[in-house]
Structure 1
Amino acid sequence: MTSSASIPSLDGRRFTMVSSTTSVVDADAPSEFVYREKDGAIWGDYSGDTVTFGRFVGTRTGDTIWVSFVHVLAADGTVVTGNGESELELTDDGRIRLVEHYEMHDLPQLSVCEEPAAA
């Protein structure tokens, strides 16, 4: 697996959810995702907001990633699984944005995650 991306490696980068069609994002404690990347493989974990704990694994080709995910909902402990595709974009100030398309509750969904702005 190799990547010919115009957007740099996601390895070690942290992202926070800014919007989602499956839930209202808690602006004070949004879900946070930590990515790893090597030779076109993507993996990592996430938690926060409506998710107690989650993991994902997948691949990257160019500026698109495909992942399978599993997480535990904070509200009732339900385990949720799925697959998604994300387009990688650069924000005007050079941060990376993930525009994620996935299916949950038998419906197409959309969420957006971004690298936090430098403090």
Structure 2
Amino acid sequence: MKLRIRGNSIRLRLNQRETEKLNFDGMYEEKTQFPNGSVLSYSLLINDKVLEPTAEFDGKSIKVHIPREAAQKWLRNPDEIGIYSDNQSLKIIIEKDFRCLVPRGEEDLDAYPHPKENQDQC
């Protein structure tokens, strides 16, 4: 799962294997360990109690919660690219990770086929 933080927005991108695990377990988590031993974890959780995507940060972990109904629609429909929320002070974006139109090797392993990869012009 890729994490991008820019200003007041957070974006998570998941490949096919990661979305399958999210669908099966109801959550997906990654951890980044820093040289000093500190660990940052970030996770995406399917949550029956939220009505829109929400996020929380406790100093060590970022948890993004998405409503079950939105998650099921996104996970089951190949045409659903993402789940978006701009109703808070923090913009939240959760998307399927598509292969790059210009291949980048390992980064594209298990990525979703790009919707425009078979077109002459993008």
Both structures adopt the same fold (TM-score exceeding 0.5): no
TM-score range, shorter chain: 0.3 to 0.5
Answer 1 or 2: which has greater strand percent.
1
TM-score scaled by structure 2?
0.34
Answer 1 or 2: which has greater helix percent.
2
